[in-house]
Each structure stands twice: as structure tokens, then as C-alpha cells.
Amino acid sequence: MNVDEFTAEHAPTETEETFDLENKYTLDVAVSGSLLAKAGSMVAYTGDLTFTGQATPEGGITGFIKEAATGEGTPIMRVEGSGHLYLADQRKEIQILRLDDGESLTVNGEDILAFESGLSYEITEIDSLAGAFAGGFTNVALEGPGHVALTTHGDPVVMEPPVTTDPGATVAWSATAPEVEVNTNLSDMIGQESGERFQMEFTDPGGFVVVQPYEEHA
């Protein structure tokens, strides 16, 4: 492959979509106004864009997602202006969803990549898991309309309740809520916290749960 072939094959594609994939690891966002994205996820941009930390959005909602590995807050950044923004997160695969008006989705804080500023959002925590995993277990509850991009280690599997999942492999859920159960048979495992001990039970019919072939928080 010569230089011209290489640049032609890997050049950004023109698109009319607000959220579009350049490849399965890179998100292209056509920014015209503002959006919110995971801090540190920008890999490149064109046009006139500005980036600011988003610590306390209007309404008093805390705009921080806890970092699983360190327990420190990872801020959401607000991106404003006009141009194309390219986002990625540690070579994780990117999934784009469009939420209609009234549709909701809760995403594991480690797996949120970007969402349109028109979406309402709230940072929540599952108290019964907060002390079980390094850095806690923080989620972003979103409500449409608008686009959201989330990331997965490998190809996701979407399951309908009733289903029981490993918390570290659980990426997102919609129209259902988990109950956390503890497997006491594994309570004596020293130095380990795993989804085999802590389990999320989803029983509400009509919703869905997204899991990945990887334990994020164990």
C-alpha cells in the first residue's frame, strides 16, 4: 500500500449524521452547538471547538463519573462550537443509540463516551455495590430525545429480563432496574470481589440489559 492508498483508505468519511463511526473504535461527532463527552476521550478535532470541565451542571447534579481503578472523579467535559470531534476510549468498541422522547437508558459510568446536551442526565450510584468494587459503582441515567455513545470491551450481548448479570460486565440497562444479590457461598474469597459473588438481578419485563465479555470493575 503506497502513501496515497493509505491516506485514501483511512481518511474521515463525509456524513450527515450527528454521531457516526469512523471505525468501531472511533466516534465522529458533527458538533453544532454543544455536547457532553467523557474527559480524556478526544483524539482529534477540526473546526472551532472549545472544551470545558463540567463539574456542576444546571440543576445541581454532580457531573463526575468515578474512576473505577483509582476512586477519583473523572469529569465530563462540555464541547462547544462547530466542527468534527473524534472520540475514543482505550480501543473499546463504540455503540451508538438514539433515544426517542421519553426513552431512558442507564449506563455504567466507565462505559459512557458521549451524549447530546439535549438529553437529561443524572449521576447515580448503586449503594450496595459502592463498597464492593474499587472506586464504587457509578452510573449515568439518561432520558431522550438524543444520541448517546457507549463503549464495550468486545461485542455486546443484549438480553431481556429476567436475567442475572455480573456487575463488572454490565454496561447498560433500560426499562428495568437491578436488585443486587450476594452469593454467600463465595463470601470467604480473600482479596477478590467478583461478579460471581455480587450479582445484579433484572426482573422487570419489557426492558433490556447490555453485557460485555469483560469484567470492568472486578
| pLDDT tens sequence across 33-83 | 999 999 889 999 999 999 987 544 333 334 444 443 334 444 688 999 999
Percent helix, strand and coil across the chain, each to the nearest 5: 10, 50, 40
Say whether pLDDT at 170 is over 80: yes
Say whether pLDDT at 132 is over 60: no
Q: Give this prediction's pTM.
A: 0.84
Cβ atoms of 143 and 192 within 8 Å: the answer is: no
Cβ atoms of 152 and 172 within 8 Å: the answer is: no
First to last CA, the chain: 42
Omega of the bond leading into 145 within 30 degrees of 0 (cis): yes
Percentage of the chain modeled with pLDDT above 90: 62
